Structure 1
C-alpha cells in the first residue's frame, strides 16, 4: 500500500464511520456552486456564513462531514466547527465524496 492509498483509505474509513454514526453532510460552497450541483440531502451553508450560523449547526446535534469543491474550504470549516465543539471532519471535494457514498 502506497502513502496516498494510506491517506485516502483512512479518510474513506473516517467518512464511513461518520455516516454510520448518523452524520450530516454540510456543503460550504457558494450559492452558485451549490446550484450547479450538490449531494442529495446535504445541508448548504456557505463558508462565509458559517460563523453567523454555527448555532444552527450545533442544534442539528449530529456529526458533520464538510465538503466543498476541492477540500480547502471544507478543511477550514471542519476546523472551525471542531473549535466550537462540533464533531466534524473534512470530506473533501463534493464530487469525490459523492462517489464514496
Structure 2
C-alpha cells in the first residue's frame, strides 16, 4: 500500500485529498482542499474519487481500508499516515 505524509500533501496542493470520515468529523475540521466522501459511500461514489488521491481519515485505519479497496479496483491511491490527527499536530490549516 502506498503511503503519503501530511507534509507531502501540504506541500503539493495539486494532490487530490479524499476525506473518508463521517459528516460530524468533517464538520469539526478537515484539510482545506479535501473532497468529502464518507467511507460508507466510497463504493457508490467511486467515480468521484480522483486517481492518485491521498485518502485521509482520523488516524489512518479507515483510509487504509479504503486504499485497499481502491487498489482492488485497479485504482491508484495512497494512505495518509497519521490522518487528520497528524495534519493538525503538524500545524497545517484546518477548514471548518
TM above 0.5, one fold?
yes
Q: 1:65–1:88: 8 Å Cα contact kept in structure 2?
A: yes
Higher relative contact order, structure no. (Cα contacts within 8 Å, ≥ 6 residues apart) = 2
Aligned length: 87
Separation (CA, whole Å) in 2 of partners of 1:54 and 1:32: 22
2:23 maps to 1:23: no
Where structure 1 has 5 or more consecutive residues not aligned to the other structure, the ranges are: 1-9
Q: Which has the higher helix share?
A: 1
Root-mean-square deviation (Å): 2.7
Q: 2:4–2:78: 8 Å Cα contact kept in structure 1?
A: no
Separation (CA, whole Å) in 2 of partners of 1:83 and 1:97: 27
Aligned to 1:89: 78
Q: Give the number of the structure whose alpha-carbon radius of gyration is greater.
A: 1
The Cα of 1:55 is off from its aligned counterpart by 1.8
2:31 maps to 1:39: yes
Separation (CA, whole Å) in 2 of partners of 1:54 and 1:87: 12
- TM-score (normalizing by structure 1): 0.71
